[in-house]
A and B are shown apart, each in its own frame.
Chain A
Amino acid sequence: MNTLIAITGLGIFCLLFEILNLRKAIVPITILGLLGVLALNYCEFGTEQSYYNNMIAVSKFSTAFSSLFIVLTIFLVALSHNFYQNHPTKISDYVAIKVFLLAGAVAMVSFGNLAMFFLGIEILSIALYVLAASDRLNIKSNEAGMKYFLMGSFASGIILFGICLIYGAMGSFDISDIHESALSAELPIWFPIGMILMVIGMLFKVAAVPFHFWAPDVYEGSPALTTALMSTLAKVVAIATLFKLIAGMNFISSLDNQDLLHTFEVIVVIISIASMSVGNIMALRQVNVKRMLAFSGISHAGFMLMTLLTVSASAGVLLYYTTAYALAGIAAFSVILYVCRDQDNEDITNFHGLGKTNPLLAAVLTASLLSMAGIPIFSGFFAKLFLFNQTIQAGYIGLVIVAVINSIISVGYYFKLIIAMYSKEPNQERTGRPFLIYATAVVSIVLNIALGLFPSLVLDLLK
């Protein structure tokens, strides 16, 4: 709870910077502020409390994921400094929007009431719509913002409809009330229908097949930093929230009571397989790196959805997977930001010869791609391992084999980028060694490898 208040306060504070004319200090101070919030959040870890008539319910799950979101926001804010260099008058707006977005994200994992959940998702989404269209003179950015807004508001509408149906069935917005009454034998059919509508809405946000059509265009059109935000923070938030919704409302046992569980599981398996395969196969053909990572994100969403099959046991696995994925994503995007800062597109040709001109950044990008591909010692490997282990134990060996085949396919496009960096001649001068970009890239990849060496640090948090 304190975390949420502190984040909102920090966001307002960021807006004041513009008035006080302290633009230069905004990035360092926001980072410091967020580190303070992280410490505050850490203090709340392990306590189980609810606030304001159970509007906000702080649990291990919510604090652990909030910490991840805060860390990711710190990285994204750090990258803002160089990214918005050409728009000095707007930087405080952009940073403030990111901080507010974080507030929405934290609200989404610590809600105790569906109203709060909806507030959170709207805060997050509206901030994202603004950021997607933030390069306002660029037609592609406008298109991305518009597309995202239309699709996103549809999804929000569907979620809202689902919430209404659940209210109709349960007579309450409160998660703990719903949790209890979900087990009663005679439930109106509205409850599962409402839940499914909410799941559909969240799958939109996660960009899982078949609700993924917005993702590639929006990722490509948005400014690169916004793409970084969407593919790391926003995706992680959405999947964590979806997980919390299903676990928090006792949806699985409720379906079990009504003999609908099998249908639900089949649907999850199909969506998961479809997301993985479509994402990977489409990614193979992309030449634009942002688009490629959008499709790779879709396939990773498919992997993450596998945790929904074992809701009771896999919170830790989901936390680990999202952390590994997001850290690798941040590292990759910081290199992309560096390479493509003066380019008008993000094609693979821009990366030619990066291994010769900037060996460190090339190594970071290589490591992050290897992590996403699931090569050992990077945490992406362990994420897949734990996920597969969990899923095989639950008896879905066929799904795991499909996932394994998809991991092989994904190597194809990740390595396209690696090869471009190392075996082609550089085609442009790359000057400047912006400290914040280097620092973000290195710190996030070091964290990624450290989690690979000591996976228990994150994996056991939610025990």
Chain B
Amino acid sequence: MNVSTILIILLIGAFATYFSGDKLASKVALLFSLAALGCSIVLLNNYNAGENISVINSWINQPKISFALNGDGLGLAMVLLTAALTPIIIFSSFGNEYKNAKGFYALILFMAFAMAGTFLAADGLLYYIFWELALIPIYFIALIWGNGDAEERRKAVVKFFIYTLAGSLFMLTAFIYLYTKAGSFLIEDLYKVNLSACEQFWIFLAFFLAYAIKIPIIPFHTWQANVYQKAPTVGTMLLSGIMLKMGLYSVLRWQLPLAPIAAKEYMYIFIGLGIAGVIYGSIVALRQKDLKKLLAYSSLAHVGLIAAGSYTLTLDGFRGAVMQMIAHGFVVVGLFFAAEVIFRRYETREISEMGGIRTQSPKFTSMFLILVLASVALPSTFNFVGEFTVLYSLSQINIWFAILGGTTIILGAYYMLRMFQHVMLGETNSKVFADVTLNEGISFAVIIAVLLFFGFYPKPITDLITPSLENILQVINKN
């Protein structure tokens, strides 16, 4: 058994879901996503037992492109994140009715397939193909099943698609250029290429464009809030929970090791951009009236910090970034799900129209509160571990970075708690808020359990990712 099994399960799952008809689609999709999760856990065991779970097959001879999947700790951690979030996301949608559900769930699984492929690919071109493939399902999910005015949605989604495609095409150019130097797209061959500082600068920039748009880093974030708001909640969860991690992961895996000189030279600029995102995202989040938009901007702030951590080029920064990626993935899915739960009952996303939920549903309130606190990195949650490690690594570069980056916690606490106050507390709302259903409760419980468990005991994840991060650091520091 090797890592391609996960991809095969997800791909077959996508087709099976499509052909199972509208009624069964959601259950079939859940089944296959759970199978993928089970498979990735087995693979994790095998990997920890020292088994080789990578695949390498030749695919196209000229130019030399291989079907190479590499299951190292970092890739596996990200695949686990994908495999764990996909069933949660699918399960969270069980309360909703979708037109043409078979297409909807098939696209979700297909997207999970493409994203898992992105995390595993060890060949530049294969990686690029998965990267682009992940874009198509989310485009259709947001376009067809999204909410709000159709015309505005169309604009937002097309902007998103053209932005991301534009970025990634420059990445493709960079890959082809590297190929002409290395004679192969395999990642280890690409790592060996010696480039001059000038070449590295352009390669770095091309990759940066692709990733900065996807993550998003200021000033390439303008697509984000609108798409998050217009997409159906499932799409928002996929985007914010997993897809933007593709960009962050790629920074570590591809951008930094391929252009280390440029990365070192321009480190301050890119950390600065990340931190600017933190501050900008937090301040804009303060003023949002729409719950989903507020969460979108808070997400912008958090990923800005993760990006800054990655660009520090220290082991702590890398480790903190990866842990925060996972933590943020779970917490943001939970928060968007909470927004969806409210929407199911109140049919609104305007914060001003909510309030007084606590008296009607204490269970939901406490779960929401835990998620909010996790999102502002309260100690004992997983987010604290991640965010703290990143801030520590920033402080080693320059104490001011850490101080400015730390505003994410302060401002974050301010806007999140204010949001919580307006949404949950206050006078009892005249509209009835039914308590959470069992299905909704299970989704919340799983997410909270993960966040708390790793908050107390992050060692399994650190052990998993540290060796591969050390390898990457070694490549960066080789010259």
Binding site for B on A (CB under 8 A): 355, 359, 370, 375-377, 381-382, 385-386, 388-389, 392-393, 397, 400-401, 404, 407-408, 411-412, 415, 419, 422-424, 455-456, 459-460, 463
Q: Please report the C-alpha to C-alpha distance between residue A401 and residue B174 in the assembled complex, in whole angstroms.
A: 10
Query: Do residues A376 and B129 form an inter-chain contact, with CB atoms below 8 A?
Result: yes
B176 neighbours in A (Cβ, 8 Å): 385, 388-389, 392, 400
Q: Please report the C-alpha to C-alpha distance between residue A463 and residue B153 in the assembled complex, in whole angstroms.
A: 48
- The stretch of B45-53, B56-64, B282-290, B350-358 in contact with A is B56-64
Query: Do residues A419 and B154 form an inter-chain contact, with CB atoms below 8 A?
Result: yes
A412 neighbours in B (Cβ, 8 Å): 158, 162
Return the chain A residue nearest B166 by Cβ.
A408
B125 neighbours in A (Cβ, 8 Å): 385
- List 18 additional contacts besides A422-B140, A423-B154; criterion CB under 8 Å: A377-B129, A386-B63, A389-B176, A392-B173, A392-B176, A393-B180, A404-B173, A408-B166, A408-B169, A411-B161, A411-B162, A412-B158, A415-B161, A422-B143, A423-B150, A423-B153, A455-B60, A460-B61
Return the chain B residue nearest A419 by Cβ.
B154
Query: Do residues B173 and A388 form an inter-chain contact, with CB atoms below 8 A?
Result: yes
Query: Do residues B158 and A385 form an inter-chain contact, with CB atoms below 8 A?
Result: no
Query: Do residues A423 and B143 form an inter-chain contact, with CB atoms below 8 A?
Result: yes
CB < 8 Å A-B pair total: 76
Shortest A157–chain B CB gap in Å is 41
Query: Do residues A404 and B60 form an inter-chain contact, with CB atoms below 8 A?
Result: no
Return the chain B residue nearest A455 by Cβ.
B60
B140 neighbours in A (Cβ, 8 Å): 422
Q: Please report the C-alpha to C-alpha distance between residue A376 and residue B133 in the assembled complex, in whole angstroms.
A: 7
Shortest A307–chain B CB gap in Å is 15
Shortest B261–chain A CB gap in Å is 20
B144 neighbours in A (Cβ, 8 Å): 355, 422-423
A355 neighbours in B (Cβ, 8 Å): 144
Q: Please report the C-alpha to C-alpha distance between residue A352 and residue B128 in the assembled complex, in whole angstroms.
A: 32
Q: Please report the C-alpha to C-alpha distance between residue A386 and residue B60 in the assembled complex, in whole angstroms.
A: 11
The contact string, 1 if C-beta is below 8 Å from chain A, for chain B 147-190, is 00010011000100110011001101100110110000000000
A370 neighbours in B (Cβ, 8 Å): 136
Say which residue of A411, A419, A460 sits within 8 Å of B165 (CB atoms).
A411
Return the chain B residue nearest A356 by Cβ.
B100
B22 neighbours in A (Cβ, 8 Å): none
B132 beta carbon closer than 8 Å to chain A: yes
A460 neighbours in B (Cβ, 8 Å): 61-62
Q: Please report the C-alpha to C-alpha distance between residue A355 and residue B169 in the assembled complex, in whole angstroms.
A: 28
The contact string, 1 if C-beta is below 8 Å from chain A, for chain B 117-133, is 00000000100110011
B172 neighbours in A (Cβ, 8 Å): 385, 388, 404
Shortest A442–chain B CB gap in Å is 16
15 sample A-B contacts, Cβ–Cβ < 8 Å, listed by A number: A359-B103, A376-B129, A376-B133, A388-B176, A389-B176, A389-B179, A389-B180, A393-B180, A397-B177, A415-B162, A419-B143, A419-B158, A422-B140, A423-B143, A455-B60
Return the chain A residue nearest B202 by Cβ.
A397
B103 neighbours in A (Cβ, 8 Å): 359
Shortest B181–chain A CB gap in Å is 10
The contact string, 1 if C-beta is below 8 Å from chain A, for chain B 30-56, is 000000000000000000000000000
Q: Please report the C-alpha to C-alpha distance between residue A229 and residue B18 in the assembled complex, in whole angstroms.
A: 34
Shortest A314–chain B CB gap in Å is 12
B179 neighbours in A (Cβ, 8 Å): 389
- Chain B residues 44-92 with CB under 8 Å of chain A are 60-63
Shortest A392–chain B CB gap in Å is 5
Query: Do residues B143 and A456 form an inter-chain contact, with CB atoms below 8 A?
Result: no
Q: Please report the C-alpha to C-alpha distance between residue A400 and residue B169 in the assembled complex, in whole angstroms.
A: 11
Say which residue of A359, A401, A411, A456 sits within 8 Å of B60 (CB atoms).
A456
Return the chain A residue nearest B155 by Cβ.
A419
Query: Do residues A392 and B158 form an inter-chain contact, with CB atoms below 8 A?
Result: no
Q: Please report the C-alpha to C-alpha distance between residue A298 and residue B136 in the assembled complex, in whole angstroms.
A: 26
Query: Do residues B133 and A404 form an inter-chain contact, with CB atoms below 8 A?
Result: no
A424 neighbours in B (Cβ, 8 Å): 150
B60 neighbours in A (Cβ, 8 Å): 382, 455-456, 459
A386 neighbours in B (Cβ, 8 Å): 63
Q: Please report the C-alpha to C-alpha distance between residue A401 and residue B202 in the assembled complex, in whole angstroms.
A: 12
A404 neighbours in B (Cβ, 8 Å): 169-170, 172-173
Query: Do residues A376 and B128 form an inter-chain contact, with CB atoms below 8 A?
Result: yes
Shortest B69–chain A CB gap in Å is 16
Shortest A154–chain B CB gap in Å is 38
Contact A375:B154 (CB < 8 A) given known A393-B180, A404-B172: no
Return the chain B residue nearest A415 by Cβ.
B158
Say which residue of B62, B135, B173 sits within 8 Å of A459 (CB atoms).
B62
Say which residue of A377, A400, A419, A459 sits within 8 Å of B133 (CB atoms).
A377
Say which residue of A376, A392, A419 sits within 8 Å of B180 (CB atoms).
A392
Shortest A407–chain B CB gap in Å is 6
A455 neighbours in B (Cβ, 8 Å): 60
Query: Do residues A375 and B173 form an inter-chain contact, with CB atoms below 8 A?
Result: no
Query: Do residues A375 and B132 form an inter-chain contact, with CB atoms below 8 A?
Result: yes
Q: Please report the C-alpha to C-alpha distance between residue A400 and residue B179 in the assembled complex, in whole angstroms.
A: 14
Query: Do residues B169 and A389 form an inter-chain contact, with CB atoms below 8 A?
Result: no
Return the chain B residue nearest A388 by Cβ.
B176
Return the chain B residue nearest A422 by Cβ.
B144
B61 neighbours in A (Cβ, 8 Å): 456, 460
The 4 closest A-B pairs by CB, nearest first: A376-B129, A376-B132, A408-B166, A404-B169
Shortest A328–chain B CB gap in Å is 16
B143 neighbours in A (Cβ, 8 Å): 419, 422-423
Q: Please report the C-alpha to C-alpha distance between residue A422 and residue B139 in the assembled complex, in whole angstroms.
A: 11
Shortest B418–chain A CB gap in Å is 36
Q: Please report the C-alpha to C-alpha distance between residue A456 and residue B153 in the assembled complex, in whole angstroms.
A: 40
Shortest A384–chain B CB gap in Å is 9
Query: Do residues B154 and A389 form an inter-chain contact, with CB atoms below 8 A?
Result: no
Q: Please report the C-alpha to C-alpha distance between residue A460 and residue B133 in the assembled complex, in whole angstroms.
A: 26
Q: Please report the C-alpha to C-alpha distance between residue A456 and residue B63 in the assembled complex, in whole angstroms.
A: 10
B165 neighbours in A (Cβ, 8 Å): 375, 408, 411
Shortest B139–chain A CB gap in Å is 9
Shortest A456–chain B CB gap in Å is 5
